[in-house]
Amino acid sequence: MPKKTKKQKILAEQRRHTTLTLPSNTPSVHLPEANIPTPAFRFQVPQAPAKSIENIDDRKELAVIQKDLTKTLILALIAILIELGVYRMLRGT
């Protein structure tokens, strides 16, 4: 399929422009307003959950994190003490 020339493109643009700007000659159908239902939109604002519930969840999470950190520190301290004990036993002989 051959490409359009610049002149053909300009003519097509002019035709599109005239068909869009000219009012249509067809009569529009007017319905009485009583027959047309008007849509009624109601937007509902989502309600945020109570802050006390969020605080309870946050406190539970913080308690779990605190227990994990405590356990990790205790195990790390035990590992360091074992390493020092092994070092002293091997170094002392």
pLDDT band at 57 (very low <50, low <70, confident <90, very high): confident
How many helices (H) and strands (E) the chain has is answered by 2, 0
**50 against 4, higher pLDDT:** 4
pLDDT band at 80 (very low <50, low <70, confident <90, very high): very high
Rounded Cα distance between 82 and 51, Å, is 46
pLDDT band at 65 (very low <50, low <70, confident <90, very high): very high
Domain assignments of the chain as residue spans, ordered by start = 51-93
% of the chain residues with pLDDT over 70: 66
